[in-house]
Structure 1
Amino acid sequence: MPIRVLPDQLIHQIAAGEVIERPASVLKELIENSLDAGAKRVDIEIEEGGAKLCRVRDDGSGIEREELALALSRHATSKIANIDDLEKVGTLGFRGEALPSIASVSRTKISSRTANYSVGYSVSSDNGVLSELEPAPHSIGTTVEVRDLFFNVPARKKFLRAERTETQHIARMVERLALSKFETAFSLSASRRSLGDFPAARSQLEREKRVAQIVGDEFMANAMYVEHESSGCKLTGWLCQPTYARAQPDLQHFYLNGRMLRDRLISSAIKLGYRDVMFHGRHPAFVLFMEIDPRQVDVNAHPAKLEVRFRDGRHIHNFLFKTVERVLRETYAGAASAAPPPTDADHLMPTSEPTSMWPMRGPNQSSLGLRVSEPPMPAYFRQPSAAYPSPPAFERTSAVPTTAVGMEMPTVESQPPETPPLGFALAQLHGIYILSQAPDGLILVDMHAAHERTTYERMKAAMENGGVASQPLLVPLSVSVAASEADVLEEHAPSLNRLGLDVERSGPASVQIRAVPAFLAQKDLDELLRRISADLSADGSTRGIEEAINEVLGTIACHGAVRAHRILSVPEMNALLREMERTVRSDQCNHGRPTWTYVSMGDLDRMFLRGR
């Protein structure tokens, strides 16, 4: 066929194929337009999973009468005017292609009224043909009705799923948008049956209720509130404890400048922050909001605007990774009881603007600062410190007859004046768990998991403070790599050397390994080198070697920790409790399992029906 200009209707339908996958895609575009118009309430109605009707009504600023027809014209928008505006987009929509694309594959009607008029006006589009402007009763705001989606594109309509499936997609999409704008009220109904109602949430408590309504009470029961600002980036929201890890990344909600994203760089940075406290193959849960200068991000990189390009992706990656890692370092029992002194590691993240967290598990629920120091270098099972000495010896004042329980039960005459966060050890249960008396309840500690974490952090701190010991190879190992990989390895050779890896370029497409970290002497060096070069090529980091070293440290810590059924004395048990209180991330072992749990006196009273 000869080259020719396509008809406008076909152009619109091709554009629709880029942004309109299903009814949920239509509603996403319409709701985002409502939010851009400053709506404080958005009501969504659907019929037959959105295939028959998608209606969005808002109380935003409305569309001027003279501009209603223009709203259905291709690339007509009020949100940008020149290239400078495109480089600092602050709205959710900006390209002006959504409404005409939707109208080209449906029967669409827009009704709107601004504050300048006492009556509203409407315009319709049927198969791309515009109607005349007509008066229509309407309050200030806009209503868009999309009927018979894909009626003129049968091939696309065949790809729609069952009504129930499409309705579920719509419900999930509305929930994600409801998380992005707490100040806006949302309602969703299907055939006049309510599927969701989200009142405006202005206070912190109301926001937490909305989050719990959307992602579940269990999420909030395991969530830590985060608020941190540094180097032009601000992060707020909720991170879940590693013990709430998921088999699928189904509870990951991230918003950049109010825009919901599904971005690989962001996901990898957050997951990397969990690397020391989560099982392999598991996924963290979070609801996070990030704000940066709009000039630092290109939002015009994906047809559905779900992915973006950062001007400095490495800076964004490091900010997210280090913030998440530092927040998780605070998950230990002693974090709320005392602020540890600063260390040289604090240069990783400024501490003048603290991160606050809200741990919802365990006896400590106070707000924590971001500043954290590495744990001190304790001896194996350090004896109780002067700050928290061992409790006084139990004085036996009475005893239960041995015929009743087979042993005498001592009673405590007095409680020490100051009780540490994890309390004082009472006994060992089956050589596996430590039972400890807290100020208002009982704490149970998995001694192997707890000791594994404290050992790992102690070894990691020693490695970071003293550097990585390097072991020269008797015969340098030659590795063939791509020329681009050789370039990257040569460029980052000084950084690798500080990590104990001596790599030297030996040809256009080959390198030699002359020394390796002592921890990794028995590793597959070819595989390690390729993993490192991939990391360096992606974002200039040396994660590959760091993760390999951490993996070896974790294995050593696991094998070096006290084993089950080993009998510990009371001083040894108390020493482990004090060590946990000083150790970062001690709420979880290296595999993401909890190391301790708390049972309050109220829980125990309910268990034994006391007071009834």
Structure 2
Amino acid sequence: MNSHSPNMRPVIRQLDEAAVNRIAAGEVVERPASAVKELVENAIDAGARRITVDIADGGKTLIRVTDDGCGMAPEDLPLALSRHATSKIDGSDLLAIHSFGFRGEALPSLGAVGRLTIQSRAEGLDGAEITVNGGVVGDIRPAALNQGTVVTLRDLFFATPARLKFLRTDRAEMMAVAEGLKRLAMAEPSVGFTLRDVSEGRDRVSFRADAVPGDLFDALRGRLAQVLGADFTDNALPIDAERDGFRLTGYAALPTYSRGSSVAQHLFVNGRPVQDKLLYGALRGAYADFLSRDRHPAVALFVDCAPHLVDVNVHPAKSEVRFREPGLVRGLIVSALRHGLAEAGHRASTTVAGATLGAFRPEPAATPSGAPRVYQMDRPSAAARSAAYAAQAPQGFSEFSGTYSGRVVDPAPAPAPAAEDRPEPRHLPLGAARGQVHENYIIAQTEDGVVIVDQHAAHERLVYEKLKRQMAERGVPAQALLIPEIVELSAEDQARLLDIADDLSRMGLTVEAFGGSALAVRETPAILGEVNATALLRDILDELADFGSSQLVQEKLEAILSLVACHGSIRSGRVMRAEEMNALLREMEATPHSGQCNHGRPTYVELKLSDIERLFGRT
């Protein structure tokens, strides 16, 4: 019975096509950015090499997508506006998806909630156009245009005005459109993209990315520089790994180039931009040892595999996927990223040096009168310079002129070896130690600059990496509980923990089924000391729900090792001898990940001599 009208029997009705299309549009077209995404994906599937998107009022009043793809025949236009009509698949195998679109819902959905006009011309055929307003399809008419397609959508959601109330400001909607277009541009480096804001008669280019030639990595690097900026590509590592039918390519940024949110994480599956919890969890696991929880890595990664290994038909907007072997994909991402980061060695991001240089404040380049300053070094006369130096020299300084040096030496130095026998490590990446300031910062000279090392942070990372190697070689010692701790769980939670029982055991946490849905915790990692097993298991379950996997035990172990490394490393305030500082620099060069401390902060800053000279007006 109907709860609203108790005396009436509910009647089952067949909804008309217009209502069905408006309901479907609510799933596919959430906002203007969704409409742009669907139309641009259609253009890419049509083989377009150049795509232009015009937007007015954040897409609320106008969205126009122009492409130079293969176009459509006039007789195909009405069919393109029918639900579930598509040229992408034949319906025989829903897992054999090789294109962006395949559901045949975008155009009819857009026509159901807006005023849609399609103009298209295929090679060797006449151009034609068709219009649909609020689901009412018009007649085919001739149109004059070159090969390709122009789709114009006006007055989005005019047929469902309630949806307009849920849209944000024009600026916010335009930013969402740009973000979606940039993701598609990253996936297709060989296609040129242009986004224009034509609101109120303007014609302003908001985003432009020209087609980039070259092989896989050259083209991708060029496109990422266009979209994400040169800072990202300068501080990112190429990733290329393959395992059991899955291939991972792309670029992953150094830990010191981290962000405060996950906005710089771009993930693709078979070229399709996705937002998948499994992939984000794998990314978090790969960087867990290098970043604190409030920092997020920047990546652009592409997972490619045979279509039957991944199901892309699990979400109307196709933003989520489901892998047949999720554990295999996660392991590939974690191992490939950790291997790539290890190969980076001691390297730190260039933005660290940029921020350091930005902190310097040289004096103004001009005098109060507006005339440029004349520096001593710019005076052409050597005699004048000598006289100026003599006049400026403080009393008593001249006696040090022959012997004074800023070089660090031992309190009781041994006789120096002959010049030809004495090694000069300035040609090495971190150079030769020249001094220590504030008993914490090592100053080293390289061939073309200066390196400033935080001795405590650097040694902390070195000790930490050594402890991790020892734990990997000897295993994680476990302590057996005299009385096993019994944890009551739901049947689903028990099954999820038993599925990863082997992984937990390798980390020193042993759990077994204990009647019904309970678990018995028999061993815990010895290094953790006393453990609240119930709280630990529930935290692991929370991570499994959020990310599809759990690294909690591993992270707890590494947190303990990090704490041990912190207390066992060189403390700030300790005076170091020259050979100790040089030994620290050499060990940093030989140790992976030594460019950042255990919390993701840089351990050293490298300043190029050219930048230093620019600060002092020498250029």
TM bucket normalised to smaller:
0.7 to 0.9
Confirm or deny that 1:196 pairs with 2:207: yes
Per-residue displacement from partner, 1:38-68 (whole Å, max 9, x unpaired)? 0000111122222221111111011122211
Map 1:344-383 onto structure 2 (within 5 A): none
What amino acid does structure 1 have at the position aligned with 2:210? P
- Relative distance call for 1:162 and 1:522 in structure 2 (3 A) is same
Bigger drift between 195-204 and 580-589 goes to: 195-204
Q: Are the equivalent residues in 1 in contact too, given 2:241–2:249 (CA < 8 A)?
A: yes
* 1:485-524 matches, cutoff 5 A: 485-487=493-495, 489=497, 493=501, 495-524=503-532
User: What pairs up with 1:171-570 in 2 under 5 angstroms?
Assistant: 171-191=178-198, 192-203=203-214, 207-333=220-346, 403=397, 408-409=404-405, 416=423, 419-487=427-495, 489=497, 493=501, 495-532=503-540, 543-570=551-578
Q: Aligned partners of 1:158 and 1:537: how far apart in 2?
A: 33
Contact map agreement 1:224 1:359 (CA 8 A) in 2: no
Give the equivalent residue in structure 2 for 1:143.
150
Structure 1 residue 605: Cα displacement: 2.6
Given candidates 12, 15, 24, the residue that maps to 2:21 is 12
Query: How many pairs were matched up?
Result: 550
Task: Tell me the TM-score normalized by structure 2.
Answer: 0.83
Provide Cα deviations, 1:361-412, integer angstroms capped at 9, x if missing partner: 799xxxxxxxxxxxxxxxxxxxxxxxxxxxxxxxxxxxx9962697811689
Q: Aligned partner of 2:269: which letter?
A: L
* Residue 21, structure 1, aligned to residue 34, structure 2: no
Q: CA deviation at 1:266?
A: 0.6
8 Å CA contact 1:440–1:600 kept in 2: the answer is yes
**Is the alpha carbon distance of 1:491 and 1:312 closer, same or farther for their aligned partners in structure 2, counting shifts above 3 Å?**
closer
Distance 1:558 1:128 in 2: 66
| Residues 268 and 492 of structure 1: CA distance in aligned 2, closer, same or farther (over 3 Å) | closer
Residue ranges of structure 1 left out of the alignment (5+ in a row): 336-357, 364-399
In the superposition, relative to structure 1, how do residues 537 and 199 fare at CA in structure 2: closer, same or farther (>3 Å)?
A: closer
Q: Percent identity?
A: 41
Please report the RMSD computed on the Cα atoms of aligned residues, expressed in angstroms: 2.7
Gaps of 5+ in 2: 1-9, 354-393, 409-418
Counterpart of 1:104 in structure 2: which amino acid?
Answer: A
Matched residue of 1:597: which SS? strand
Residues in 1 aligned to 2:222 and 2:395: alpha-carbon distance in whole angstroms: 52
- Judged with a 3 Å threshold, the aligned counterparts in structure 2 of structure 1 residues 455 and 158 are, in CA distance, closer, same or farther, namely same
Q: Answer whether contact 2:407 2:434 (CA < 8 A) is retained.
A: no
Query: C-alpha distance in 1, partners of 2:57/2:608?
Result: 49
Structure 2 match to 1:50:
59
Q: Distance in 2 between matches of 1:510 and 1:454?
A: 42
Q: 3-state SS of the aligned residue for 1:115?
A: coil
Instruction: Please tell me whether the aligned partners of residues 476 and 512 of structure 1 are also in contact (alpha carbons under 8 angstroms).
Output: yes
* 1:127 matches 2:127: no
Per-residue deviation at 1:260?
A: 0.6
Please give the alpha-carbon distance, in whole angstroms, between the structure 2 residues aligned to 1:277 and 1:225: 18
Question: 1:157-183: CA deviations, max 9, x gaps?
Answer: 222233222222222222222112111
Aligned residues of 1:223 and 1:360 also touching (Cα < 8 A): no
How far apart, in 1, do the equivalents of 2:549 and 2:320 lie?
22
Deviation at 1:263, TM superposition (A): 0.9
Give the number of the structure whose alpha-carbon radius of gyration is greater: 2
Q: Provide the rounded CA distance (Å) in 2 between the counterparts of 1:152 and 1:498.
A: 59
Q: How has the CA–CA distance of structure 1 residues 280 and 492 changed in structure 2, closer, same or farther, with 3 Å as cutoff? A: closer
Specify the code of the residue in structure 2 equivalent to 1:279: S
**1:353 corresponds to which residue?**
none
Name the amino acid aligned to 1:233. F
Matched residue, 2:69: 60
Asked if the contact 1:452–1:561 (Cα under 8 Å) also holds between the matched residues in 2, the reply is: yes
Deviation of 1:114 (Å): 0.9
Shift of 1:331: 2.9
Cα distance, 1:312 vs structure 2: 1.0
Deviations 1:122-172 (A, max 9, x none): 111122222221111111111111111111212112222332222222222
